[in-house]
Structure 1
Amino acid sequence: MAMAAFTRPATELRRLLHRPNAVRTFVDARVKWVRDPYLDTAVEKEKDLKPMLNLKNLILAQPSKTLPISTAALLKDRLKLPTTAGKLIERYPSVFNPFRPDHPLALPHVKLTAQALVVHNEEARVFNSRNHRKDLAERLAKLLMLAGSRKLPLNVVNGFVFDIGLPHNYILTFLSDFPEYFQLCSMDCKDANGCELLGLELVSHRHDLAVSVLERKEMHLNSRFRSGVPIPFPMELPRGFDLEKKVRNWVDEWQKLPYISPYEDAFHLSPNSDQAEKWTVAVLHELLHLLVSKKTERENVYRLGDYLGFGLRFTKALVHHPGIFYVSNKIRTQTVVLREVYRKDWLIEKHPLMGMRHRYIHLMNKKVRQNRRIQVQNVRPRKQVT
């Protein structure tokens, strides 16, 4: 899907990028993938976290704060459960409390444990805090500004709901608080089924937010900072990994190319040039910085790239720059991780929402001594009556 044209001029950048070293080509060398056990651990820690939270939110959305397990079984795909609802509930007895209501012929139900409710209530306070909501609005605005049209289809935005820290029902509970920022819109195109696509639009460009994390750091270090200077990307290769000499030399020269803000228009550059690749990396780098865990499923990255018009350029950037990005194959998917923000398997700077998620992870890993489980593995979802 083609991206609408960017609206901001880049006259100064065009002048800088017409220098002789602005267009080169990547060396003909293979950059191998090397496993990083620390970043794999960072990804694997969150195994089942999203489906657990999906089920938790569904239970609490019920008036009784309980849910028939058979209903959860019917919604397995919607909840993105990795196994049956019954098995997931049994796997995390510190989070879910299966029980049978005290009346004849009652089906097994599930509710949250007292410990899980405590964590949920603290998480709700984080979600509802003024500072968090303002920070979230700004990060969502920056995500939309990565698109020159300042709007993205909802199916693209929805891929980042968990990673950017939006509440699961953000359209009803979040967007209405920021009418000066966001509005729902038509995308003027249709999906594969011929249905009109809805999107999320930033009401107006916010120049105060159109500064990348690397530009802010450079401004802090250099009072004479100006657009188009060569800002290098932080790079860190795992122990035992070494680039071929010609690749290392290419990277050293590539880092010296002018840095183009991900909020600028650089689609005028030859897509196969190294300068265009540096801009592509800038977009990916900024995207991952907007996310509370600094990582997301690769499918989300590719879906965004396809809409923005990058196509295979995102794929090449991930392959060419293992010192900036890492792709983990853990937890039944592929996850793109920003290396620089992790020390071994821990985030260097932890967002408050990540603190809450680690509380949930701790609870999920906690064992329950007393045997209070009921047999739910044989529960079959009832067929819906039409």
Structure 2
Amino acid sequence: MKCEVLQLSATARRHLHLRTFINARIKWVRDPYLDAAVEREKNLKSLHSLKNLILSHPSQSLPLSAISPLKPHLSLPTTADKFIQSYPFIFKIFLPPNKTNPFPHVKLTPKALSIHCDELLHLNMSRYRLDLAQRLAKLLMIARGGRLPLHLIDTLTFDLGLPHDYLLTLLPEFPDYFQICDLGFRDSNGEIVFGLGLLNWRDDLALSEMEKRRDCDLNGMQIKYSMNLPKGFDLQKRVEDWVEQQWQHLPYISPYENAFHLSPNSDHAERWMVGVIHELLSLMVTKKTERENVFRFGEFLGIGRVRVKKALVHFPGIFYVSNKIRTQTVVLREAYRKKLMTEKHPLMAIRNRYISLMELVLRRGRPVRGAAVRRRERGRTCLRVVSNKKEDWNRWRRSDDDDD
């Protein structure tokens, strides 16, 4: 396992313990574009979990009564039947032909099933699976000792783009990468905590996203973070000067290096902490994750929530914390231009197809965008019908009827 300690002079070592951050309050300012990017994926993770649960059964359907008890496990925002009825172009409720079982069941619509099949094709591509294994390995390399608890990885599964059954379908393909291990401690219930460990340190992967950019820079300039403050953000001049004239010029310490020799309250330690969060978000296909996930990751590294929170608050030009969709989400600003990702991961193109179906609702027998319906209800605009052509709507209806 790589474990490097910087060889520095006594003067340099003393400088690593300095703290020069300006004692100024940095207020949170709403970014409507990034809020829209977060809100657009509302309920997508819950829908994905329910979809996988339905398709895991041989009949590819489930009785509604069997889904309701699993609501907490699936993180459904409402009751199962209301959630399913909210997405009529994803789920279809039907009565089985067998009269001995008259209870309503739910299955996927043909369009949702078609997207799922395309998703499986992508997940089974050798190029994608290698990329996924490498990103998972990099996540373990950032972690202390090259290991992470399985329950912590599970919270990041969707954001990483891991298949829900990655333990059975992905890990066996890379026996030279990973191993399941006992982490040597027990949880609050006294149960042994198992984790995923990296078999060998990989120097070819120990290159952060920020260092890749330096390699592309022919002038060999110092590594500086991109600062993208939204319009209307009034950052105090003294704080802005400190970031641009002092903090940005500090030596870059890779998140894959052992930096625990730094004083926790020093500028260098905070710059390393920013690098850890930046690299964590860069490994996600969504370039964002819930703030609680970042906190848990920091706690396992031995950093603590307070230091993580300070890094997020002190550098609003790098990270944005959205309060949308009933939680707080940390977004990597540089990965977005307004509400769109600058470099979209191939898996996100498939997820956007799910979102397009989720946004459709039925009004007067026609499919319309839910956002248009909400605007109509607020009296701002008229309904925007997805298709006014009668033949297009008949094609929608026939595809559902053929599935009955």
What is the TM-score of this pair, normalised by structure 1?
Answer: 0.90
Query: Equivalent pairs: percent with the same residue?
Result: 55
Shift in CA distance, 310/230, structure 1 to aligned 2, threshold 3 Å:
farther
Shift of 1:147: 1.4
Preserved CA contact (<8 Å) 1:323 1:339: yes
Distance 2:164 2:183 in 1: 22
Distance 1:213 1:148 in 2: 19
Preserved CA contact (<8 Å) 1:25 1:272: no
- The partner residue of 1:317 within 289, 306, 311 is 311
SS of 1:18 mapped into structure 2: helix
Shift of 1:368: 3.9
**1:245 corresponding residue in structure 2:** 237
Give yes or no for the alignment of 1:72 onto 2:64: no
Shift in CA distance, 100/17, structure 1 to aligned 2, threshold 3 Å:
farther
Give yes or no for the alignment of 1:61 onto 2:56: yes
**2:293 corresponding residue in structure 1:** 300
- The partner residue of 1:336 within 312, 318, 330 is 330
SS of 1:115 mapped into structure 2: helix
Shift in CA distance, 16/327, structure 1 to aligned 2, threshold 3 Å:
farther
Which amino acid counterpart does residue 365 of structure 1 have in structure 2? Answer: E
Shift of 1:21: 7.7
Give yes or no for the alignment of 1:235 onto 2:215: no
**1:99 corresponding residue in structure 2:** 94
Preserved CA contact (<8 Å) 1:269 1:275: yes
Which amino acid counterpart does residue 262 of structure 2 have in structure 1? Answer: L
**2:119 corresponding residue in structure 1:** 123
Shift of 1:166: 0.3
Preserved CA contact (<8 Å) 2:321 2:330: yes
Preserved CA contact (<8 Å) 1:99 1:109: yes
Shift in CA distance, 81/103, structure 1 to aligned 2, threshold 3 Å:
same
**1:346 corresponding residue in structure 2:** 340
Preserved CA contact (<8 Å) 1:119 1:359: yes
Higher relative contact order (CA 8 A, sep 6+): 1
Shift of 1:313: 1.1
SS of 1:102 mapped into structure 2: coil
Which amino acid counterpart does residue 40 of structure 1 have in structure 2? Answer: D
Shift in CA distance, 16/75, structure 1 to aligned 2, threshold 3 Å:
farther
Preserved CA contact (<8 Å) 1:94 1:368: no
Preserved CA contact (<8 Å) 2:88 2:361: yes
Q: 1:296-327 deviations in whole A, cap 9, x for unaligned?
A: 00111000100101112111100100000000
Give yes or no for the alignment of 1:82 onto 2:77: yes
- The partner residue of 2:267 within 257, 274, 296 is 274
**1:136 corresponding residue in structure 2:** 132
**1:289 corresponding residue in structure 2:** 282
Q: 1:331-382 deviations in whole A, cap 9, x for unaligned?
A: 010000000010000000000111111110001112346869xxxxxxxxxx
What is the TM-score of this pair, normalised by structure 2?
Answer: 0.87
Size of the alignment, in residue pairs? 363
Preserved CA contact (<8 Å) 1:231 1:259: yes
Shift of 1:248: 0.8
Stretches of structure 2 that go unaligned for 5 or more consecutive residues are: 367-404
Which amino acid counterpart does residue 269 of structure 1 have in structure 2? Answer: L
**1:382 corresponding residue in structure 2:** none
SS of 1:11 mapped into structure 2: coil
Shift in CA distance, 14/361, structure 1 to aligned 2, threshold 3 Å:
farther
- The partner residue of 1:364 within 358, 361, 365 is 358
Q: 1:206-254 deviations in whole A, cap 9, x for unaligned?
A: 000000011011011137x5xxx84111110000112101111111110
Query: Root-mean-square deviation (CA), in Å?
Result: 1.8
- The partner residue of 1:166 within 162, 167, 171 is 162
Stretches of structure 1 that go unaligned for 5 or more consecutive residues are: 1-5, 373-386
